[in-house]
Amino acid sequence: MRKIPFQSLSKAFILSLSLASPTLASEPKPFLKEGKWRGEFKLNEKVLPFNFEVKGKTAETATFSLINGSRRDHFKVKVIEGDSIYVKMNTYDAALVGKIQEDGTFSGVYKSLVPNPRFNGNRLSFVAEYGKSYRFVQDNHAVKPAGDISGKWNIKIISKDPNAANSVALLEQKGNKLTGVLMTVVGDTRELEGNVVGNEFFLSGFSGPSPYLIQGKLGEDKKTIVEGEYNIGVYFSQKYEGAKEKNVELPDPYKLTFLKEGYDRVDFSFPDLNGKTVSIKDEKYKGKVVIVEIIGTWCPNCTDQTRFLSPWFSQNKHRGVEAIAVGFEQKDDLEYAKYTLGKLKDFYKIEYDILFGGIADKKVATEKFPGLNRMAAFPTTIIYDRSGKVREIYTGYTGEITDKYYKNYVKKFNKVLDELIAEPNPFEGKELGQVSVGR
């Protein structure tokens, strides 16, 4: 009897298996189940919970939505390297990357994707469980709250630095559930969600950029916060104390950044995403009201402002108004900025010019906008009138969760723009020696 070589037999056996079971080689990889999930970041010795929901059964159809109180942020999902689930944080250069484990949990890391050694090592490990939607404590395991902390709180940083910036917290409690926002001179934390447990409270927020964890303990009078601490990802940890004060306010955002003595305008020129130099003195902006927003794609308040400004400009661009976004990014490289700012342009459907200012640094930004006393924060908005003079400067941005602060900002923004747009164009009719009459 003729002997069949072992290698040939093995190949024949494998072939027969593939023919008999055509789905064997293409068995679907584990994917996130549709429904609610609860995750936990490991933040040093602390736990920072976050919630999300998945809709869609495959990576091609699924939407991944981060949940923070009433806020929803939606992201696309990819499967990479065979079985790794990859959730890019839209315009932020960061991602959740993990795998489905044998016990059904989803675990991995939240990591920076910035090609800059200063940021690239930033990562947080996480584990998420399916079918759970509570934040810090389950209702049936919750300790009854010691009091209602709804209201407005003056948050004071515990620091030896006399210039340490304080904050204002707006909190709303229903039973043991807590939602709210922390406002600072640079903007706000976006909506936070958590619980009140006895005389302690816990809030967290994760909407794409670095996660927040804020906790504190009520004083005996229930009108003070003691042993307060808040963390922003792996970057920042700060102790604080607080007191309930209904009239507390932050410094006026219209007065933090202003023109130096002797200046009535701020000149600048930067490359656009094609490398072409664009200047505020260009003919395109002559005789127009111009809104300049100084931003960074890494900055959540900047992207929230862009989400407001982009549709506003689309609806008003016919009125003699222009806008320019100047981005300061986490790497001082135009090619990298083309990627990050290009993503921002596409995601928010921006129709105005986007320029690259340089590295994300307030000192650098101050130097590149001569005439400003300082760049107090990203974002900063500068509004020019038709003659090219600066008429208003606004520091930071407060989103919709801040309620009246957001409404007041929108109301004043529209009022100022309406007034400036209504002013006569000082250059109109002066070409070729013509003289404007009745102006």
| Angle, CA 37 vertex, CA 35 and CA 40 arms, to 5° | 170
Lowest mean pLDDT among 5-14, 140-149, 278-287, 380-389: 5-14
- Please state, in angstroms and rounded to a whole number, the distance separating the CA atoms of residues 239 and 229: 4
Mean pLDDT estimate for the chain: 90
Model pLDDT, residue 5? 47
> Residue 2 above 90 pLDDT?
no
- In CATH, the number for domain 269-422 is 3.40.30.10
Strands 277-279 and 151-157 come out as unpaired
Task: Give how far Cα 287 sits from Cα of 370, 425, 428, Å.
Answer: 22, 5, 7
Give the DSSP H or E segment for 270.
Answer: strand 269-271
Model pLDDT, residue 248? 95
DSSP strands (E only) in 123-191: 123-130, 151-157, 167-174, 177-184, 187-188
> Residue 409 above 70 pLDDT?
yes
Strand, coil or helix: 141: helix
Domain ranges of the chain: 35-130, 139-244, 269-422
Domains 139-244 and 269-422 share a fold: no
Q: Which amino acid is at 228?
A: G
Place of tokens 């604080």: 240
- In CATH, the number for domain 139-244 is 2.40.128.120
Model pLDDT, residue 83? 86
Give the burial class of 435: count Cβ atoms within 10 A of its Cβ; 0-12 exposed, 13-18 middle, 19 or more buried. exposed
Overall pTM > 0.75? yes
Query: Binning pLDDT at 50, 70 and 90, where does residue 49 land?
Result: very high
**Percentage above 90 pLDDT, the chain:** 79
- The number of helices, as runs of H, and strands, as runs of E, in the chain is 6, 24
Quick: pLDDT tens for 146-198. Answer: 989 999 999 999 987 766 778 999 999 999 999 999 999 889 999 999 999 99
- In CATH, the number for domain 35-130 is 2.40.160.90
Place of tokens 């932020």: 92
